[in-house]
Amino acid sequence: MQLVQEAYLANRRTYGYRRIQIWLEQQKVLTINHKEVLRLMNKLGIHSVARKRNPYRPTKEQHHLHHYPHLLQRHIQAERPNQKRCTDISYVHISTRNDVALVAATLKQARKKMITAGTLLHSNQGHQYGSHSYYVLTKEYKLVHSMSRRANCWDNAPIENFFGHLKEEALRQYPTLSFKETKQIIDES
């Protein structure tokens, strides 16, 4: 019970019994059945905070300066690290901007840390990804850009899932964070 409580608190009270079981196996090298974890959580009176699902709403046709072919085609498995990447923008309540400059700065930062020439970089049809600034950077970095078609969200599912978990597990329980505090939590996640 003490280890289940520790796992629960270490993960900001967001882990359910399945993820606590995995955490215990990885962090404490403890083999335990997920049903036992559920039973112990019930006994402790603890439960994960349920994620809120956002229903998909297709947007109107957007006009881009640059269009890219849909190269990913739901083939998200990669043979090597950084062969394929997905990108997107997700709104956090205290965000200071959601523009082309944000996308360009993110791409420059990713170039320093992980993206190499030839990386397939997939995005949705956000206007930032069709901008000329983004086009110039992807050409300069020799990236292969792929873009989903309208109302086709499947290829961007990994990044959407990542943002969903980040918001739910790291930010939702702190409704009044400053920009600096939010940035620190995101950097630590």
Crossing angle (nearest 10°) for helices 2-10 and 34-44: 90
The whole-angstrom distance between residue 186's C-alpha and the CA centroid of its chain comes to 11
The alpha-helical segments, DSSP class H, found in 56-178 are 100-113, 132-140, 157-166
**What pTM value is reported for the model?**
0.55
Which homologous superfamily does the CATH classification assign to the domain defined by 62-189? Ribonuclease H-like superfamily/Ribonuclease H (3.30.420.10)
What was the pLDDT predicted at 61? 46
Identity of the amino acid at 99? D
What sign does the dihedral 103-124-89-13 (CA atoms) show?
negative
* Residue-wise pLDDT tens digits, 15-73: 999 999 999 999 999 999 999 999 999 999 998 876 666 555 545 444 557 777 778 87
